[in-house]
Structure 1
Amino acid sequence: MSFSLGVDRIVTELDFVRLHKLGTSHMPAGFPDVLELAEQVASPVVPPDVVTMYSQIDLLEAGADRPRRLTLCYPQDAEPAQGFISVLSPLGASLLGLRVGARARWRTPQGEQRQARVLAILFQPEASGDYTT
């Protein structure tokens, strides 16, 4: 498993459906279980402090001096050098559904354990009234 199941997560119903359409064979180990255990909510009622798809966040990795700004996206939109992180990457999968203040935990492809705290959500589509992105 590449990240912790023990963290409460909230996922919009739309994100849940879209992620399952990508196919579980493309998902990081354990991510299908995380999705199944997450609380599913309608997009208009997702709390504004929850990381959803296309949320832009500030994240402080353990041991780092400064936060990183990332946008969680689908694989076809991933541009890691620009801060667009695929939800199917170990880091991306560890972020989906977390609340501000929560710790993301994941394992890099090289097997290294990492963790970071979600400091802020700078933009969440649902909070701005966008329920279809």
Structure 2
Amino acid sequence: MLDNLQTRLPAIAISSRDIDRLRHLAEAAMEKYPATAEFLAREIDRAEIIPADRSARNIVTMQSEVTFIDDISGQKRTVILVYPEDADVDAGKISILTPIGAALIGLSAGQSIEFQTPSGGWRSLTVIAVGSSWSAPPTRK
């Protein structure tokens, strides 16, 4: 079944800027959140690593604002993907150490991913749009 699932997974890319911290997070979370940590580790292992100096526009990276649809419920949501210490569900900031966060990392607009939740259910998400949650500081004149 895993081989079948692997062939259906979309190609993803993760910035070299994020990869080491994400690997460390997945490893550190194995005891507390084993299912999500394993899922994140698998996503990291299968991702294309893109150089930090290459544009990651339209790819879900850390600090990205991403709009997606839950393909099962039809619910549309916009969130910012953050590290665990910055998570704030009420502010729309979801942790990479949640099943949705781990599923979204590396996807591009138009891609869908199907994944199993820690409770054993299945979810499918489709990314509609990816943007940056931060803006550059104003230019001085």
CA shift digits 1:44-86 (9 cap, x unpaired):
3133111000100111111445520111111111112321111
The one-letter code of the counterpart of 2:129 is: A
User: Mean Cα displacement is larger for which, 55-64 or 18-27?
Assistant: 18-27
Name structure 1 gaps, 5 residues minimum: none
The one-letter code of the counterpart of 2:118 is: P
Q: In the aligned structure 2, how far is the partner of 1:123 from the partner of 1:82? A: 16
From 16, 25, 41, the counterpart of 1:13? 16
Name structure 2 gaps, 5 residues minimum: 31-35
Q: In the aligned structure 2, how far is the partner of 1:70 from the partner of 1:119? A: 12
Identity of aligned residues (%): 28
Q: In the aligned structure 1, how far is the partner of 2:136 from the partner of 2:55? A: 11
Q: CA shift at 1:92, angstroms?
A: 0.5
**TM-score after normalising by structure 1:** 0.80
Q: CA shift at 1:21, angstroms?
A: 2.7
Question: 1:61 maps to which residue?
Answer: 70
Secondary structure, counterpart of 1:52 in structure 2 = coil
Give the number of the structure with larger relative contact order, counting CA–CA contacts within 8 Å between residues 6 or more apart: 1
Give the number of the structure whose alpha-carbon radius of gyration is greater. Answer: 2
Task: Pick closer, same or farther for the CA change 1:26–1:89 going to 2, 3 Å.
Answer: same
How many residues are aligned here?
Answer: 126
State the superposition RMSD in angstroms: 2.4
Task: Pick closer, same or farther for the CA change 1:63–1:57 going to 2, 3 Å.
Answer: same
